[in-house]
Amino acid sequence: MGDPMTLLEPTDSAPVPHEADPAPSPNGLTDPEFELVMLHVDGELSDDSVRAAAAVALLEQSAVARAVAADWVSAKVALREAVLDPAHEVDLSRVRGRVMTKLPADVRSAAVDPQPAAGFGAWLRSLGLGKVTLAVGAAVAVAAWLVATAAGPGTGPGGAAPPAVAEVPGEAPAVIIEEIEIEGGSVVVDPGKGPGTSTIIWHFEAQGAG
Amino acid sequence: MKCDTFLVGAAALLATLAVGWAPMAVWAQTAPQRAVLAVRVIGASKAPAARVDPRLRDIERELKAFQSDFNEFTLVREQQLSLDVGMRGVVKLTDGADFVVTFLGLTPGPAARARCKVETPRNVQTLTMAIGGRTLDILPAGDRATIVSTSYER
């Protein structure tokens, strides 16, 4: 991926092919144009010379496109300086923490009582972890903990009948994980979607870790 | 006169209760704590047809959370650990590695929870469980996985 600022320099390229007049988005570009600029800034068009040339031409012709691209570059720089660089300085060789108690109170309440229709991805986005999701998706899940928040019906191992859930006072969960100690990687909590459902805690091992 | 007798009697009764209660309280604090945990080692794999070991019916719903990766679940080993405080219980996993549970004690309060340290080959957890609480630890290994169900029975 090249330097985004360099890629924004106007060059002699073919004009942008305009398709069937899509409505401009609030930022002044049509959705296809906006996507083209984003892909170009992200360096995602290196294998698509036609679209890359179109992106360069658009940037040359349109002050709005240049402004959008500059904003996007600024946002990427800010993200790198504020989040990614500090994150790389963190020693994850021995992660140790209290997963749930690290969540802010409002997030924790959402985790305890998520919207029924909210999926894992939506829940992650509600935590502002959309970027993390992408990174996690490229990693390798090495373990997961599934925590039953309520005892199921029937008999337990050895024929012993598990006590009724009502024996758990108030709304105390059946299991509280105080601390997870892992050898690097990331931990993501996928809360249960309601009473009797389970919470899954994923441990993702970083790429290349053994 | 009657009032005095009543007061004296009440005081005597309270004193008796207090004398009796103190050792009981001390006993309650020093009584040996024990937790009985059921640990089941489950083999998970992907098979042409879904199959859940009949002995795992009580956790079938939880196992189905992983049906996109595994659809065959077989009980490999079942062990009941009766642990005093500080004791370690060891259960062998399918690959010969150890799954270790250490009972750290009961939490204070009317509904005591068992506080345990659980060590798998890849992580260490400290958790508390109410009676009936259960965790499943999933340890993938290629296209298979070992699942360990740990439940606090009493």
From A30-34, A110-114, B46-50, B104-108, the region with the lowest mean pLDDT: A110-114
* Tokens read off for A170: 């108030």
pLDDT tens, position by position, A10-38:
333 444 444 445 555 556 788 788 888 88
Compute and round to an integer the Cα radius of gyration of chain A.
24
List the one residue out of B104, B70, B69, B98 whose CA is nearest residue B86.
Answer: B104
DSSP of A14-54: PPPPP-S-PPBPTTSSBHHHHHHHHHHHTTTTTT-HHHHHH
Residue in B115, B138, B151 nearest the CB of A143: B138
Whether residue A197 is predicted with pLDDT greater than 70 in this model: the reply is: no
Contact B57 A179 (CB under 8 A): no
Long-range contacts for B117-123 (Cβ within 8 Å, ≥24 apart)? B118/B150, B120/A143, B120/B148, B121/B93, B121/B97, B122/A142, B122/A143, B122/A182, B122/A183, B122/A203, B123/A143, B123/A180, B123/A181, B123/A182, B123/A183, B123/A203
Say if A176 is an interface residue toward chain B (CB within 8 Å): yes
Per-chain mean pLDDT for chain A: 55
Long-range contacts for A161-164 (Cβ within 8 Å, ≥24 apart)? A162/B58, A162/B131, A162/B132, A162/B151, A162/B153, A163/B131, A163/B132, A164/B132
Which residues of chain A does B59 touch, with a Cβ-Cβ cutoff of 8 Å? 148, 152
Contact B80 A157 (CB under 8 A): yes
Contact B127 A181 (CB under 8 A): no
Sheet-wide strand order for B114-120: A95-97, A175-182, B123-129, B114-120, B98-106, B88-92
Which residues of chain A does B135 touch, with a Cβ-Cβ cutoff of 8 Å? 145-148, 175, 177
Say if B37 is an interface residue toward chain A (CB within 8 Å): no
Confidence of residue A56 (pLDDT cuts 50, 70, 90): very high
Name the one residue in this structure whose structure tokens are 């009724």.
A164
pLDDT tens, position by position, B95-129:
899 999 999 999 887 778 899 999 988 778 888 88
Among chain B residues, CA nearest to A190: B65
The per-residue pLDDT for B80 is: 96
Mean pLDDT across the stretch A91-112? Answer: 41
Contact B125 A174 (CB under 8 A): no
Tell me the C-alpha to C-alpha distance, in Å, between residue B21 and each of B8, B15, B103.
Answer: 20, 10, 28
B151/chain A closest Cα distance in angstroms: 8
What distance in Å separates the CA atoms of residue A99 and residue A111, rounded to the nearest whole number? Answer: 12
Mean pLDDT across the stretch B124-147? Answer: 82
Angle of CA points A64, A68, A69, to nearest 5°? 115
Mean pLDDT across the stretch A109-121? Answer: 40
Give the rounded percent of residues in chain B with a pLDDT score beyond 70.
78
What distance in Å separates the CA atoms of residue B119 and residue B102, rounded to the nearest whole number? Answer: 8
What distance in Å separates the CA atoms of residue A89 and residue A94, rounded to the nearest whole number? Answer: 13
Contact A168 B123 (CB under 8 A): no
Per-residue DSSP letter, A96: E
Say if A160 is an interface residue toward chain B (CB within 8 Å): yes
The per-residue pLDDT for B77 is: 94
Residue in A157, A169, A181 nearest the CB of B123: A181
Whether residue A64 is predicted with pLDDT greater than 60 in this model: the reply is: yes
Contact B151 A168 (CB under 8 A): no
Give the rounded percent of residues in chain A with a pLDDT score beyond 70.
27
Per-residue DSSP letter, A90: S
From A50-54, A151-155, A167-171, the region with the lowest mean pLDDT: A151-155
What distance in Å separates the CA atoms of residue A146 and residue A189, rounded to the nearest whole number? Answer: 10
Contact A160 B58 (CB under 8 A): no
What distance in Å separates the CA atoms of residue B58 and residue B123, rounded to the nearest whole number? Answer: 26
List the one residue out of A188, A37, A192, A204 whose CA is nearest residue A125.
Answer: A188
ipTM: 0.70
Whether residue A163 is predicted with pLDDT greater than 70 in this model: the reply is: no
